[in-house]
Structure 1
Amino acid sequence: MRTPERAGRPSLLTAPEPSSSDSFGYFAAAVLCVAVLLGVYFVQYNAKVDRQRQAAVERWLLCSQMERVASVASVRGVRLTSNCCTLSGQDHR
């Protein structure tokens, strides 16, 4: 049996409306989550760029070393300077 609701009293079956402090808490939690996700993304992106930069430096050093060896060992004086310059130009982008 259900008793009739009295005037001015909320029913026990209806959920209370969220207060403004709850809304602010949800907003603050959402902002914090977005900040953490962006932080993780930028850390990973920075690590990827650092790995690419290191690989480019290693390629350039290898090219320079190969150019020196080729110029000493070759009678015709093979020049790899243009290739090494291309690699060097990619580092500055």
Structure 2
Amino acid sequence: MSNLLRLAIIMPFLLNQFLKESSLKRNEAVTIQQRINASRISLVPKNIIACWVHVAKTMKTVFNRKFTSDSYEELQQYLEEEFSILPKV
């Protein structure tokens, strides 16, 4: 599991460096653009990266060694954000 956590945490950095609009299939990029109500197709890669940021934050919180009531509230918030962005991307 720790390898998955590491991958989830570094994935936004990798995507930020290498994911370009030309890396996506045109029809998929247009579909995502419509789902996120973006005015330009160039915003699609940024939203994919934002999705991975939400996933990384959630996984980091899930794998904390200690949980407090604040940690549970933080996890709840991250999960809600993730559930709202995942179906769009």
Give the TM interval when normalised to the shorter protein. Answer: 0.3 to 0.5
Relative to the length of structure 2, the TM-score reads 0.41
TM-score (norm 1): 0.39
Q: Which gives a bigger RCO, structure 1 or 2 (Cα 8 Å, sep 6+)?
A: 2
Rg larger in structure = 1
Choose between structure 1 and 2: higher helix proportion: 2
